[in-house]
Each structure stands twice: as C-alpha cells, then as structure tokens.
Amino acid sequence: MGYKMNEGLLWAKPLESSYGYARRLMAANPGLSLRELRQALPDLPFIGSQCPLCADHLFHTAVYRLPSLTHCPIHHCELGSSCPKCHLSWGRPFRSRSPVCDKCGVLPKALWGKTQMKRRHLRKLRWLTRWVDRCEMQKTNYTYVSLCDIHSRVGTRAVGEHQSFFEPNSRDKYYLAFECQRAGGINQDRLNRMHIMTYDRPLKSRTSNLRPWPEIKEEHATRRQNRESKEHIHRRELREAEMVSLITLALRRILRWQRHTTGMEHRLTWSELQNVRPEAIREGEPPCDLCMAFSFWCCLINQKFTEKPAHFDTRAAHELFRFANYRQVPNVPAGFFIEDREFATWRPSVNFERWLFLRALENAFAEFIALAKWLFTKTANDKVRFKATGYHGVDHTFEYPRHPSQILETRVEDRHLVARYWSDSPLYNIQLDEDVLNRVRRCRGVSPSDWSFMGVVEPDPHELHQAQTSALLRCEEHPSRWLFSPWIERSDEGYFDYACYLLDFEVLRSSNTILDDQ
C-alpha cells in the first residue's frame, strides 16, 4: 500500500507560491525522503527572495520575487535570498537535508499552531497582487516594439554593444514605479508604506510618425551609385554637419553637468587608453575619472562613426576593458528602425532619432564614469595582482547599475511610435563621491611621457563650437575629407534609404537651430 501524501491543508494560505506549497508539503510530511518529495514536485520551486518572518509562517508569495520589493510588505524586514540561520539558499532543503535547519526546512512542532497570518496582512498582499496583474493585462491592449540599431542590419559593427535603454517589465526594479507614474502616481504613498521602490517624477511621452523602410526606388538607387556627383556630396556634407552638431550639443550638456556637479572648471582631456595596463593607474599619474570617461566616450564615437585609416584595428583588445571583463559598450544608435509582426520595417522621424541619439550619448558617458570609478577602486586594492597575460578573474566584473533614465517604453498606437520615459538626464543619475572629486581637483591633464594625448575640450560650454568638435575627432593620419562614415555608404544596393538624405533642410541650414537645447 502506497504512502498517502498529507498536503497540510490547515497551513494553506491564499496567494501561496509554488515554494510555499512545497514547504507546506515538507512540513506536513517530516518523514518523507527527498526522492519521494521530488516525485510529488516534478519541478523544484523557484524561490527568489523570502522574508525570514514569513518563513516561520510557512508562507511565500510570488510577489516577493519582484525586484521592486526590497522589504517584506507585512513585517517590514529585508528580503533575502539565503536563510539567516544556516546562511544557505532558501531552496537548499529540496536538494539536501544536511545541515538540518528549522528556519528553511522542516518546521519545529513548537510552531505548528502559530502559522496563521492576520487577514489585514493578506488583504495588503491581495491588493498588490491584483494591481500587478492589472498592469500586466493592460499591456496586452497595445503593440510593443523594440528599437533596432541600423548598424546591426546595414554597415559594419566595430565593437560589441549592449542595450542602452530597456522596456519596463516585471524583472526590472523600477517596473512598479513606472506603472505607478503611468497612472498619475495615485498609488505612490501606498507603495511607499509597503517599502516598494518608487520614483517621484512624472512620465513624459514623445510621438513620431512612422514611414516604411527601406524605400527601394530604381531612380534613387541610380543616383546613389554616383557618389562623386555634386548633389551626393552636398547631401553628405549636410549629414556630416548634422553629426558634428549633435555631438557638439552632447558635449555642451556634459560640460554643463560637470560644472553643476563638481562646481569647478575642469578641462576634459582625451588620452589613448587602449594599451594602458591597470598597474599604470596605480603607479603612474592617470587622468581623473571624468577625463578617463571622456576618453572612453570619444573612443566609442571614433570607432563606430568616423572614417578610419586602413591600418586602424578596431578589434584590438582594450586592456582596461579586459581588466573589468567589460566586453560590450553601450549602444549609441545614429538611426534605428522597428519591425512589426509581418517582418515589415519602419523608420521614425528624424527629430525622434536625434533625440534618442543625444540621450544615448549622455547615457554612454554616465556609464563610462561608473566604469572609471570602478577601475580606480579596484586598482587601488593591494590584494589585486596583475599578470602578463591575465587579471584577477571573472568574479570581479564591472556591472553598471540600472537607472530610471534607462527605462524607455516604445509602442505603436494608430501608426505612430509613442515613447514614454522619465525626462531626467542619464548624467544626473551619477553621484560623484568625495574621492572622485579629489581626483578631479588634482587632475592636471595627461603627461606626454605616460599617456598618449589625443585632444582636449575647454570647460566653458559656450565656447565650444562645431569646428573644435570636428578637430577633436578627426584622424590626422587619414587624408579623407570626410569625418563621419554614414551607414548608408557601407550598405548593400538593396538598402537605399532615400528618406535618410531628404532631411529637413530648413533645420540643417542653421547650426544654431540644431544646437538648441530645447
């Protein structure tokens, strides 16, 4: 006669997760072996985070897995991934019975009659669960799309890239804050009382028309093949002027942020850091965090967008990137497209692409500042040892934290692209501590003997002009008259974007219009 499983229904509670059910079976059948328990549970439950006090009540709900929750809404204690008594994973008792722990394993008999929970606590969790489900159901009413960089389909990609912006989803710690602001912030006080991460900034939206892409027209393709014609050269000059203007505008915003954050006048120096080893940061006189981030930022623009000499190797290993196990730089799209369910591609307006390009440039500089700070902290540690062929291991990896300015929701409504986001600049999500400010104060540029000098930008944003930006990024070894190499020049014959060249000439005619911060 087989063993009849006791399901412990007296301990059952609403909103119980699969882990809560498995823990209840374990407590109701203390003599059950792991093999028999796994037969009753074909899939081992995923736990995520758990409240230590809820564990005494044999309770766990799926809401605890949300990254937005850092504390238990009921007991207001910190959620953790390991048991505070045995310091092992909460799911360890389902894989091994040793060591025995009455906190995460079988419940002791003294607590059998003390596992009930108050109804007001369950009502609080029931409201939160229903609200999250309602937010997920509302997403089914819209068509969400992803923004794809044109360089991923047309042209060449010199370096590996990762996403700069992310769609709000339940795996993001700012997901509930985004959904709260979508509804006007009416539930923000209630979420704060439940220790859920919120962000007290209203959402903004930006709308763009969509046009089919690519537009393949025989007469336009014939015109494209003649790249020496006056019309083609004129259009490329306009495209080059636009890129220089946008990068100049991004540099001005960076200089304004630097003045506002540091409260000092500091020249940004670009030095070639590609072959610099980490011990040079510890033993030499390296540039400050801002100059190092500026060097990474200029290198990213130079490798992705500018013309390069034939011997220029964009795939060379960057020593500092290898030290941080930093294999992908932030994506900066000069143009992008979306793809619908029928595999048709669409392009937004030029103004929308310019706005996203500037925001991606600011996000890249913010990430490089965090990377420079990480490099200074790691290289200052005396326990870190350097070798001729490798570094201290993959356990020490730079990870850029997620910020609210990286959340970008894009969906299609009535043949229009609608983007919702927090309007704060990605630069203002970076906090500079006193160590970083001290390094900025001591920064005197780059020593020609130790670091390869590439260029400099003066601290006054009003004195920065397009000619200085062009001279900063131009490669002196390349005799080409063009600074930027647009992706359309490297595309196949089938991908001719006629609308790419037909820009708004009235906007491009005046550089002051392009360099308007509004």
The contacts of residue 398 (CB under 8 Å, 6+ apart) are: 324, 325, 326, 370, 371, 374, 375
Give backbone dihedrals phi and psi of 148, rounded to 5 degrees, phi first.
Answer: -105, 130
Distance of CA 456 to the CA centre of its chain: 28
Strand runs labelled E in 225-372: 268-272, 329-330, 336-339, 345-347
Per-residue pLDDT of the chain (518 residues; tens, 9 = 90+): 456 777 777 788 888 888 888 888 888 887 777 777 777 776 777 778 899 888 888 889 989 988 888 899 988 889 988 888 888 888 888 887 777 788 888 777 777 767 778 888 889 999 999 999 999 898 888 888 888 888 766 655 555 788 899 998 888 899 999 999 998 888 999 999 988 989 999 999 999 998 887 654 444 444 444 555 676 667 777 778 888 899 999 999 999 999 999 988 888 988 888 777 787 787 777 888 999 999 999 888 888 877 654 434 444 457 888 888 888 889 888 888 888 777 788 889 989 999 999 999 999 999 999 999 999 988 887 766 665 555 655 567 888 888 999 999 999 988 899 999 998 899 998 889 999 999 998 887 655 445 677 788 888 988 888 888 888 887 555 445 566 665 544 444 333 343 333 333 333 333 333 333 33
First-to-last C-alpha distance (Å) of the chain: 79
Residue 208: in which H helix or E strand, if any?
A: strand 203-209
Q: Is 162 helix (H, G, I), strand (E, B) or coil?
A: strand
Sign of the C-alpha dihedral computed for residues 148, 152, 155 and 157 taken in this order:
positive
Give backbone dihedrals phi and psi of 362, rounded to 5 degrees, phi first.
Answer: -65, -40
CA dihedral 438, 263, 456, 364 (to 10 degrees): 90
Report the C-alpha gap between 415 and 190 in whole angstroms: 36
No. of helices (H) and no. of strands (E), the chain:
17, 12
CB 424 within 8 A of CB 438: no
Sign of the C-alpha dihedral computed for residues 358, 360, 361 and 366 taken in this order:
positive
Both structure tokens of 206: 């930006």
What is the value of pTM for the model shown? Answer: 0.83
Q: For the chain, give percent helix, strand, coil, nearest 5.
A: 40, 10, 45
Q: Angle 230-262/218-225 helices, nearest 10 degrees?
A: 80
